Amino acid sequence: MAYIETLLSSWLEIMKSSGTTISVLLIILGGIMYGIAQLQPGETRGKWQNISIGVFLGGVIIAAIIGAASVIQEISSNLLT
């Protein structure tokens, strides 16, 4: 049991340290890609817009998970006791 709790705590620290940077980079990259998609011809614009919206939403989802990481860690550690 202690191993699992230690593992979850280490994942929490990893997420807090690198997740914020990854989230911000994905949000910025999604915005840049969306802007570049507006310059593309009509045949490829939709593909680029879909990819950029996916990248942007990925950044938002990562930010939401990081925001709830401590709650997730606390709840999951209490499930095994």
For residue 45, the tally of other CB atoms under 10 A from its CB is: 14
Nearest Cα to 22, choosing from 67, 59, 73, 64? 59
User: What is the rounded CA–CA span in Å between residue 5 and residue 27?
Assistant: 31
Tokens of 43: 């045949």
User: Is residue 1's pLDDT more than 70?
Assistant: no
User: Is residue 79's pLDDT more than 80?
Assistant: no
Residues in the chain: 81
Average of per-residue pLDDT across 42-61 = 93
User: What is the rounded CA–CA span in Å between residue 67 and residue 80?
Assistant: 23
User: Is residue 38's pLDDT more than 90?
Assistant: yes
Which pTM was predicted? Answer: 0.73
